[in-house]
């Protein structure tokens, strides 16, 4: 449907939700488009839900999804995307640091032909050593690993087409990898600078433990983006390299034993060569098993290994505009 869906995951943000709802409502109302504001309460233990209902309970644009417990920001965002109804979906933090006033210009950028517009907190209002410096390093690592080069993967403020948002499958801490996952779906991505504000109320939910989880999720994302459809290419290459190296070592030892009368029974190279050959065989077997699992995953759910942007068909009756009739995905 034509319109804008704004998804805002919140967890213990009782002091922020009222002001945030009013800000977002005013901005969306000014666009003149149909809209909905989807708050996803991720198991808050304070008055977040009651405060939100107090300020927006009578507003038909508010939709509140209350999760049974704290599942994490990624799961909350996925729930919001799944329940969104409009063709444009906006992801926004609930701590008031993302400026809702940026939404109209990001929507306009999206309509230039992009599928995802990512926010870049160019002038970030956070402490340098504890927040900004680790973020700079992480962004460079993620950009290099995924091939999608952005300045700010951690900015929640993103505007994307509805089919991209509802087509994402998010797990762990993967909400920060949305651009990379969208790129795998063939999305056209652009990054724009956005205003970033200091946190006024509450405390940050980020810590060193989340950084560790992000690193682990990056490994998962790298595998999913590069090898989920062809795992044998990863395991097979490693297995082949190990097996070839082991075979060369054993061949050298055999030559030395047969032609140079060099004993080989007590040489560490013998054990290394045998171990490398066995490891190589194991990796090849892992790759074959992963291929079977990948095919089971796609075929059991009738999932496609491709994503269609749109289909054009010629009209049945002749007219002056052939290929004018568009069939939705």
Residue 267: phi and psi, rounded to 5, are -95, 130
Task: List, as one string, the DSSP characters of 178-231.
Answer: HHHHHHHTT--EEEEE--B----SS-----HHHHHHHHHHHHHHHHHHHHTT-T
Predicted local confidence at residue 218, as pLDDT:
81
Residue with tokens 């869906």: 5
User: Who contacts 212 (Cβ-Cβ below 8 Å, separation ≥6)?
Assistant: none
What b/e string do you get for 234-273 counting C-beta neighbours within 10 Å, with b at 16 or more? bbbebbeebbebbeebbeebeeeeeeeeeeeeeeeebeeb
Q: In whole angstroms, what is the distance from residue 289 CA to residue 302 CA?
A: 20
Predicted local confidence at residue 307, as pLDDT:
67
Residue 35: phi and psi, rounded to 5, are -155, 165
208-227 and 133-146 helices, crossing angle to 10°:
10
Residue 327, SS3 per DSSP: strand
Tell me the mean pLDDT per 10 residues along the chain, length 329. Answer: 93 91 95 95 91 88 92 91 95 91 95 95 77 80 87 92 91 85 91 87 60 75 79 90 95 91 86 95 92 80 70 61 47
- 221 alpha carbon, distance to own chain's centre: 8
Predicted local confidence at residue 205, as pLDDT:
57
Predicted local confidence at residue 90, as pLDDT:
97
Predicted local confidence at residue 118, as pLDDT:
95
Q: In whole angstroms, what is the distance from residue 114 CA to residue 93 CA?
A: 22
Neighbours of 213 (CB within 10 A): 14
232-259 and 268-300 helices, crossing angle to 10°:
160
Cα 42 to Cα 19, 49, 76, 112: the distances in Å are 19, 10, 6, 34
């Amino acid at each position: 449907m034509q319109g804008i869906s704004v998804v805002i995951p919140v967890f213990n943000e009782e002091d922020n939700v009222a002001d945030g709802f009013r800000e977002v409502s005013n901005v969306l109302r000014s666009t003149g488009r149909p809209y909905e504001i989807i708050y996803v309460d991720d198991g808050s233990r304070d008055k977040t839900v009651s405060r939100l209902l107090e300020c927006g309970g009578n507003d038909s644009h508010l939709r509140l999804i209350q999760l049974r417990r704290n599942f994490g920001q990624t799961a909350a965002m996925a729930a919001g995307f799944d329940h969104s109804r409009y063709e444009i979906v906006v992801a926004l933090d609930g701590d008031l640091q993302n400026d809702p006033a940026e939404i109209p210009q990001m929507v306009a950028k999206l309509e230039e032909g992009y599928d995802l517009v990512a926010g870049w907190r160019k002038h970030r209002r956070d402490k340098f050593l504890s927040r900004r410096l680790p973020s700079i390093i992480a962004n460079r690592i993620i950009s290099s690993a995924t091939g999608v080069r952005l300045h700010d993967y951690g900015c929640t403020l993103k505007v994307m087409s509805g089919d991209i948002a509802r087509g994402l499958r998010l797990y762990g801490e993967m909400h920060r990898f949305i651009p990379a996952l969208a790129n795998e779906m063939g999305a056209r991505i652009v990054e724009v600078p956005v205003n970033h504000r200091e946190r006024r109320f509450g405390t940050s939910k980020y810590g060193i433990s989340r950084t560790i989880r992000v690193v682990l999720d990056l490994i998962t994302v790298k595998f999913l983006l590069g090898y989920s459809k062809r795992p044998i290419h990863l395991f097979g290459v490693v297995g082949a390299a190990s097996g070839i190296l082991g075979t060369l070592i054993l061949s050298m030892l055999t030559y030395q034993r047969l032609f140079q009368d060099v004993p080989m029974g007590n040489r560490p190279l013998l054990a290394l060569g045998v171990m490398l050959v066995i490891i190589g065989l194991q990796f090849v077997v892992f790759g074959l098993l992963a291929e079977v699992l990948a095919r089971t995953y796609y075929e059991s759910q009738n999932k496609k290994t491709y994503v269609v942007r749109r289909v054009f068909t010629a009209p049945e009756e002749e007219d002056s505009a052939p290929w004018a009739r568009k069939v939705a995905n």
